[in-house]
Amino acid sequence: MFALYVFALYVFALYVFALYVFALYVFALYVFALYVFILYVNYSNGSLSNSINPLYQATWVIHSQFTIHNSKMNRRQFIQLMAIAGATGLLPKSSFAAQKLPTDIYEVPPFGQIRLLHITDCHAQLLPVYYREPHANLGIGERRGRAPHLVGDKLLQHFGIQPNSLEAHAFTHLNYIDAAHKYGKVGGFANLATLIKRLRDSYGGKTLLLDGGDTWQGSGTAYWTRGQDMLGATNLLGVDVMTGHWEFTYRAEEVLANIKKFTGEFVAQNVFVKEEALFDNAPAFDEDSGLAFKPYTVRDLGGSLVAVIGQAFPYTPIANPARFIPDWTFGIRENELQKLVNQIRLQEKPDVVVLLSHNGMDVDLKLAARVSGINVILGGHTHDGVPHPTEVKNNGGITLVCNAGSNGKFIGVLDFAVKNGQVKDYQYRLLPVFSNLITADVEMQAYIDKVRAPFRNQLHEKLAVAEEVLYRRGNFNGTFDQLICDALRVQGDAQIALSPGFRWGTTVLPGQDITLEHVLSQTAITYPQTYVRNMSGKNIKLILEDVCDNLFNLDPYRQQGGDMVRVGGMDYVCDPTQSMNQRISNMTLDDGTSVDMNKQYKVAGWATVGNQSKGKPVWEVVVDYLRDRKTAKLDKLNTPKIL
């Protein structure tokens, strides 16, 4: 009996010793993983691998979750460090597999039977860029304080995003300069091509790549090639279906010629040929209905049918010059859309109905509540990077509304699970495209290099050095817009400058050379001519009131423009909650003098939508200004006081 007791103690001691050894082994793995992380932090400002590989991606994920000075580590962070060790082969394969933890921020596990990939508003940015998200995006009425009108900390809190993380940098302006240096540039068609191929291959090819428009405009090369550089890029990227907005700022014959060369399908249910133009034999997709373009397409994805309806920007002839497209008429056309959805549901019997929209997100949210039978609206125009879909109830059930940012910075990945012709569930990820994390696709990069080659020397001309961050996006003003306004005032010897509230335009970091390419990314449009003219204080106020109503009308269907017109040399007070002609007050010049409604002022501006101005292109004005100054530092940012 005593011998058995001794043997039991011996076995127990061996068991305890084995546990101790195992604990030491696990601790050693933890220390090694922590060492890998610290190495990464030490080299985070250096040259790291540009490939999509598990270790590199894992270290970025860990770095985005906590900082090096944080002495406490929770269970989730510990598991992430173990995932790094597993990715490098230090953990037993069975242990790593059992955790099933992704070590790659671009790993999107397949779900369901249908995968939709969504890009929008890339504005012809073939190369990776810096792009600062807005610090101001005001909602009005019931949209106040709700997506997409959330910025900064409020956006992070709403969507559960950890501050100071890679994801926080992608979706907000917070700590922008430091984070931009840390995480690098975003977008780039060669990097996007690699990611899209991966997302398609991992799903077995049952995918559609949908482009929401604003693709052929926004860069010097797009302007000089009339959008054909982007046409070649989207064909190579494999875009299946697209719709448009800034595409319509080329001449109608150029638009139609580009569409013929497009290997995908261009769809728009809300663009019609005017009756008088039809009598003159103007081209139309369907002469009987007057449709200018194919309204929808149906694709078979491995036995699942997906219908994609196009919704071009409904106010193109108001926001942009109608003289380029005189035969076409636009509109939201809600009733026609409902009839078309009903027809498609009855005749085509699709599993999923998609509206590929360039309405703007507020318009899409209203439309989703009023039109039934659409499973998802993949939207654009307002450049909102919204991490999760908004579920909108209507008479037919629920419609998802998604918006995928701009400048090639994001790609939306929407997987649907369908059964018996109905959507049962979905999975959505809005992936930020960080060019440092993705290897450039060789074929796409070769195409980009070739198409840019004739213009490279012009684009790379160094004009000045930025002494502060230059950005555009925001409701009321951006520093690059102020630079444009300052150039217009100085070069035109004007008291006041007005510049359109465009949302597109890249960002320049402090210390960067400002090149012609940067200037063109803010100004490259087909109606760039400048003007200098006298205007009364009353007319200046009317311009501000009109644009303000486009932005802050309580009815989203009447929100027809971009952001607020930018001003230079003048300040004002704005109350977005007031009605038309009551929002703007206290207009004062930079010297503090009140603007007299009856007095004439010398005003410089550009991009007239009505009659074409006769001045030189705005980029020439800005280029001359920067060459003279050598550096770009603003004396004042003319931002209105908001009540």
CA atoms of 52 and 103, how far apart (whole Å): 11
Let me know if residue 166 belongs to a domain. no
Asked if residue 482 and residue 418 are part of one domain, the reply reads no
Let me know if residue 156 belongs to a domain. no
Let me know if residue 274 belongs to a domain. yes
pLDDT at 473 (0 to 100): 85
What CATH number did the domain enclosing 566 receive?
Answer: 3.90.780.10
Quick one: tokens of 415?
């997987």
Asked whether residue 190 carries a pLDDT value surpassing 90, the answer given is: yes
Number of independent structural domains in the chain: 3
pLDDT at 98 (0 to 100): 33
Question: Three-class SS of residue 307?
Answer: strand
**In the chain, % of residues over pLDDT 90:** 76
Quick one: tokens of 171?
């979706």
Asked whether residue 462 carries a pLDDT value surpassing 60, the answer given is: yes
Mean of per-residue pLDDT scores for the chain: 87
Q: pLDDT band at residue 57, thresholds of 50, 70 and 90? A: very low
> Range with the lowest mean pLDDT among 103-107, 112-116, 156-160, 257-261?
103-107
Peptide bond into 148 cis (omega under 30): yes
134-138 long-range contacts (CB < 8 A, ≥24 apart) are 134/173, 134/473, 134/474, 134/475, 135/173, 135/474, 136/474, 136/475, 136/476, 137/384, 137/474, 137/475, 138/475, 138/552, 138/576, 138/642
Q: pLDDT band at residue 26, thresholds of 50, 70 and 90? A: low
Question: Three-class SS of residue 399?
Answer: strand
Asked whether residue 50 carries a pLDDT value surpassing 90, the answer given is: no
pLDDT at 28 (0 to 100): 60
Asked whether residue 606 carries a pLDDT value surpassing 80, the answer given is: yes
Query: Among 392, 413, 432, where does a domain finish?
Result: 432
pLDDT at 18 (0 to 100): 65
Asked whether residue 281 carries a pLDDT value surpassing 80, the answer given is: yes
Question: Three-class SS of residue 600?
Answer: strand
Query: How far apart, in Å, are the Cα atoms of 138 and each of 300, 476, 552, 571, 576?
Result: 40, 10, 8, 19, 9
Give 220-243 pLDDT, tens digit per residue.
Answer: 999 999 999 999 999 999 999 999
CA atoms of 217 and 229, how far apart (whole Å): 10
| Residue among 371, 34, 55, 354 nearest 212 (CA) | 354
Provide the residue count of the chain: 643
Asked if residue 119 and residue 79 are part of one domain, the reply reads no
| HSE-up (13 A, CA, CB side) for residue 140 | 22
Strand partners, 209: 117
pLDDT at 142 (0 to 100): 83
Asked whether residue 641 carries a pLDDT value surpassing 70, the answer given is: yes
CA atoms of 69 and 198, how far apart (whole Å): 36
In which domain, by residue range, is 622 found? 460-642
| Residue among 343, 247, 258, 250 nearest 295 (CA) | 343
Q: Phi and psi for 325 in degrees, rounded to 5?
A: -135, 60
Query: Among 378, 412, 432, where does a domain finish?
Result: 432
Give 512-554 pLDDT, tens digit per residue.
Answer: 999 999 999 999 999 999 999 999 999 999 999 999 998 888 8
pLDDT at 215 (0 to 100): 98
8 Å CB contact between 301 and 207:
yes
Asked whether residue 30 carries a pLDDT value surpassing 80, the answer given is: no
Query: Among 412, 432, 452, where does a domain finish?
Result: 432
Let me know if residue 386 belongs to a domain. yes
CA atoms of 151 and 28, how far apart (whole Å): 42
Asked if residue 31 and residue 95 are part of one domain, the reply reads yes
Q: What is the mean pLDDT of residues 61-81?
A: 38
Give 289-318 pLDDT, tens digit per residue.
Answer: 999 999 999 999 999 999 999 999 999 999
Pairing status of strand 496-499 against strand 566-568: antiparallel
Asked if residue 380 and residue 306 are part of one domain, the reply reads yes
Asked if residue 312 and residue 223 are part of one domain, the reply reads yes
Which residues touch 59 (CB under 8 Å, ≥6 apart)?
36, 37, 40, 84
Q: Which residue has the higher pLDDT, 381 or 30?
A: 381
Asked whether residue 44 carries a pLDDT value surpassing 90, the answer given is: no
> Range with the lowest mean pLDDT among 49-63, 117-131, 421-435?
49-63
Asked if residue 590 and residue 483 are part of one domain, the reply reads yes
CA atoms of 597 and 602, how far apart (whole Å): 14
Asked whether residue 637 carries a pLDDT value surpassing 70, the answer given is: yes
Question: Three-class SS of residue 499?
Answer: strand
CA atoms of 480 and 542, how far apart (whole Å): 24
- According to DSSP, residue 594 is labeled B
**524: amino acid identity, one letter:** A
pLDDT at 73 (0 to 100): 39
Asked whether residue 51 carries a pLDDT value surpassing 50, the answer given is: no
**100: amino acid identity, one letter:** K
**Can you state the angle between helices 618-629 and 479-492, rounded to 10 degrees?**
90
pLDDT at 297 (0 to 100): 98
Asked if residue 215 and residue 79 are part of one domain, the reply reads no
Asked whether residue 115 carries a pLDDT value surpassing 70, the answer given is: yes
Give 384-416 pLDDT, tens digit per residue.
Answer: 999 999 999 999 999 999 999 999 999 999 999
Q: What is the mean pLDDT of residues 425-436?
A: 96
Let me know if residue 603 belongs to a domain. yes
Give 469-521 pLDDT, tens digit per residue.
Answer: 999 988 888 999 999 999 999 999 999 999 999 999 999 999 999 999 999 99
- Give the neighbor-by-neighbor strand order of the sheet with 631-632: 513-515, 462-466, 631-632
Let me know if residue 537 belongs to a domain. yes
CA atoms of 379 and 215, how far apart (whole Å): 14
Asked if residue 319 and residue 225 are part of one domain, the reply reads yes
Give 154-165 pLDDT, tens digit per residue.
Answer: 999 999 999 999
Q: pLDDT band at residue 563, thresholds of 50, 70 and 90? A: confident
CA dihedral 482, 247, 415, 384 (to 10 degrees): 20
CA atoms of 545 and 556, how far apart (whole Å): 17
8 Å CB contact between 89 and 189:
no
Asked if residue 411 and residue 335 are part of one domain, the reply reads yes
**In the chain, % of residues over pLDDT 70:** 84
Let me know if residue 544 belongs to a domain. yes
pLDDT at 6 (0 to 100): 52
Q: Where are the beta strands (DSSP E) in 159-291?
A: 207-211, 241-242, 265-266, 272-273
What CATH number did the domain enclosing 205 receive?
Answer: 3.60.21.10
Asked if residue 621 and residue 588 are part of one domain, the reply reads yes
Asked if residue 337 and residue 303 are part of one domain, the reply reads yes
Let me know if residue 81 belongs to a domain. yes
| Residue among 424, 421, 381, 422 nearest 401 (CA) | 381
Q: What is the mean pLDDT of residues 46-73?
A: 38
Asked if residue 600 and residue 489 are part of one domain, the reply reads yes
Q: Where are the alpha helices (DSSP H) in 123-206?
A: 152-159, 166-171, 176-183, 189-201
Which residues touch 531 (CB under 8 Å, ≥6 apart)?
604, 605, 606, 608, 613, 614, 615
| Residue among 307, 313, 312, 331 nearest 240 (CA) | 307
Asked whether residue 140 carries a pLDDT value surpassing 60, the answer given is: yes
Quick one: tokens of 42?
């030490």
CA atoms of 228 and 552, how far apart (whole Å): 35
Query: How far apart, in Å, are the Cα atoms of 146 and each of 149, 306, 314, 393?
Result: 5, 30, 24, 16
Q: Which residue has the higher pLDDT, 91 or 321?
A: 321
Q: DSSP string spanning 534-590?
A: EEEHHHHHHHHHHHHHHHH-SSGGG--SSSPPEEESEEEEE-TTS-TTSSEEEEEET
Asked whether residue 343 carries a pLDDT value surpassing 70, the answer given is: yes
pLDDT at 145 (0 to 100): 87
